[in-house]
Amino acid sequence: MKNQKVLVAALILAALGLLARLPAAAPESAYALSSAESVLLTNEDFLRFHVVANSNDPEDQWLKYQLRDHLLAYINLELARTLAQQADGTESPVFFTVEELEDILDSKREEIRREAERLLQSLGYSDPVTISLGLRWIPEKVYGETVFPAGTYRALTVTIGKGEGENWWCCLFPPLCLIGSPEAAAKLQDPAAADLTKLSPAELEALGLSSLTREELQMVSAYYTEILNLPKYKAAALRTGGRLQLRFKTLDWLRSR
């Protein structure tokens, strides 16, 4: 019996020693890049925007896209105004973290809902609109050529009516859907192209920025460029061709043995 106790104790100590040598496992939401980059991101480094249609009826889907375009322009303008207020004549670039952007959107949640219902009413629809903001589980999605793994993400979700239709989505932070496309985001990473003042009136109108002054457009350009050039987002290959893949550190360690 004594020898059995000694053997059990030795096995426990050996197991503890093995665990101590294992690398700490990352949260399940953590993912690394498929490239050679060593930067680790978590799902919560992104803030996504979803618009859910009432149904998959063609008319409801059309209405979803009308609301999408309207709200993206509305949010773009509201963020530009907030940037201008926070800058308050300073020369230093002003930009939001993902947490700050979430707080700003939360403070404007009711305004966004009312704006959405105003648009629907102007188009002759009476569907109610609900807004949610926070963490939600989202299946794997593709934006451009960037794959976002399934997981829990920060998300602003706008639901029309019963919300039984397909949803449209994009990324509010980093601000990919606020500048039109992943390709536009890639251009903003090039300092020579990161100038919204060079856009045509029609392009500015589509982004909701046609009412901004030249100085305000330059400030918004600096904001977008600053965010998209942060090391962890730039390394995420937001340019066309980027791909994010979910990884578990423990599995990577085992595969390397």
pLDDT in tens, 115-159: 999 999 999 999 999 999 999 888 887 766 667 778 889 999 999
Instruction: Answer for the pair 26, 34: CB distance below 8 angstroms, yes or no.
Output: no
Ranges of beta strands (E only) in the chain are 30-33, 40-42, 47-52, 129-138, 141-143, 146-148, 151-160, 167-173, 244-246
**Cα 231 from Cα 200, distance rounded (Å):** 30
From 3-17, 81-95, 139-153, 158-172, the region with the lowest mean pLDDT: 3-17
- Is 31 within a domain? no
Residue 127 lies in a domain: yes
Residue 155 inside a domain? The answer is yes
In degrees rounded to 5, what are phi and psi of residue 220? -65, -40
**Full domain range(s) for residue 111:** 40-256
Q: CA-CA distances (angstroms) from residue 140 to 42, 45, 134, 146? A: 14, 16, 18, 11
In a domain, 173, yes or no: yes
pLDDT tens digits along 159-208? 999 999 999 888 888 877 777 665 566 666 666 566 778 778 887 777 77
Query: Residue 11 falls within a domain, yes or no?
Result: no
**48 part of a folded domain:** yes
Four-CA torsion 23, 29, 33, 36, nearest 10 degrees: -10
CA distance 32 to 251: 13
Q: Is the pTM of this model over 0.85?
A: no
The pLDDT of residue 155 is 94
The total number of structural domains in the chain stands at 1
Residue 117 falls inside a structural domain:
yes
Q: Provide the mean pLDDT of the chain.
A: 72
- 15 domain residue, yes or no: no
What is the DSSP-derived secondary structure letter of residue 114?
H
